[in-house]
Amino acid sequence: MRIVILGGYGLFGSRISRTLAGDAGLTVIVAGRHRASAERLVAELRDPRATVLAAALDTASATFATELAALAPDLVIDTAGPFQARDHAVARAALAAGAHVVDLADARAYVAGIDALDGVARDAGRRVVSGASSVPGLTGAVIAAHLDRFAALEHVEASIAPGNRTPRGWATTLAILGYVGKPFRILRDGAWRTAHGWQSLRRLRVDGVGARWVARCDVPDLDVLPARHPQLRTVDFRAGLELRRMHFGLWLSSWLVRARLLPSMTPFARPLFAMSRWWQDTGSDTGFLHVAMRGRGHDGAPLSLAWTLVARAGDGPQIPATAAIVLARKLARGALPGSGAGPCLDVFTLEEFMAALDGFAIAATLREA
């Protein structure tokens, strides 16, 4: 299998490239706008079992589709965010080149609207899987793994809080700043209501990590989970920054946007990103993903489960990279039959995901309240 990884030397793309380079029988093509960066990563890989190549590809170029097709990909993994302002042109180009498509999109409209490519993907006999990341890929797998414990699953609330010393991505920064203070819909207590980005603060305590503040985020889960599980009455998602000066600074900024004193926080992305790097030696290298599920058990009694994944030693960025790794391996061995386009749900199990994290300082626990 020939795998083209767009943004293959970025924060998440480089982890996908490094991991798949250890798989015999693959050809991994590290691609991005800067060939020198791709070549540098390829040179850093020691004794890869896969064939690893570098390529210059710019998804915004008028010649992108032609240049991608010339690489003859069997799979295109798209990590080149932010996806919030993008259409599905890259996925269409990959399908036209005869490839499956897996992306790490965290943009709600992008992932929820990926089924627009379903007919094209089925005609091509290929898979398009969108949101192969922490959300909705991992959160969806967590729910699927524990769904049989519930007679009715009614509430899902997830939170993610990376350690401050963990490397951060420019695309992720842009994505967050794009919805800070902005209104969006959430399903709460059986009705669609309006929430605002980086508001509705909550303090969450995780065993072995401590307490972190989290705030509301606009992510694909808010649409795709209610569509997949119609019995849900509440779906909520929050994220947090470990340093309170950063977390509450962004919270204060959200009020300026909500009051329309600022149109958006996006124009401040570069100075804020630089400021966050000044403080990167502060805090910890430990982060977590917490998924709380509530409903009724088969005995009719209330049931509450809390699944928590804790990443230490700076291994947190491996989590959003792992869904694409699992899918690439399944496609390579023919273990993901069928075709069509949809969100990253029901395409791998939680057990498969956790097995791919073996060797990293990452562990999960399940608690029943």
Q: What is the DSSP string of 130-151?
A: E--SIIIIIHHHHHHHHGGGEE
Domains, the chain, ranges and CATH? 2-133+318-348 (3.40.50.720), 135-311 (3.30.360.10)
Least confident of 65-79, 166-180, 316-330, 342-356: 166-180
For 238-261, write each residue's pLDDT tens digit. 999 999 999 999 999 999 999 999
Is residue 295 within 8 Å of 360, Cβ to Cβ? no
Query: Taking 90 as the threshold, does the pLDDT of residue 28 lie above it?
Result: yes
Residues in the chain: 369
Query: Taking 90 as the threshold, does the pLDDT of residue 369 lie above it?
Result: no
Is residue 55 within 8 Å of 71, Cβ to Cβ? yes
For 36-77, write each residue's pLDDT tens digit. 999 999 999 988 999 999 999 999 999 999 999 999 999 999
pLDDT, mean of residues 66-93: 95
Edge-to-edge strand list for the sheet holding 51-56:
51-56, 27-32, 2-6, 75-78, 100-103, 127-130, 340-343
Say what the pLDDT of residue 168 is: 81
pTM recorded for the entire structure: 0.95
Query: Taking 90 as the threshold, does the pLDDT of residue 280 lie above it?
Result: no
Query: Taking 90 as the threshold, does the pLDDT of residue 10 lie above it?
Result: yes
Query: Taking 90 as the threshold, does the pLDDT of residue 31 lie above it?
Result: yes
Q: Kindly state the percentage of the chain with pLDDT values over 90.
A: 94
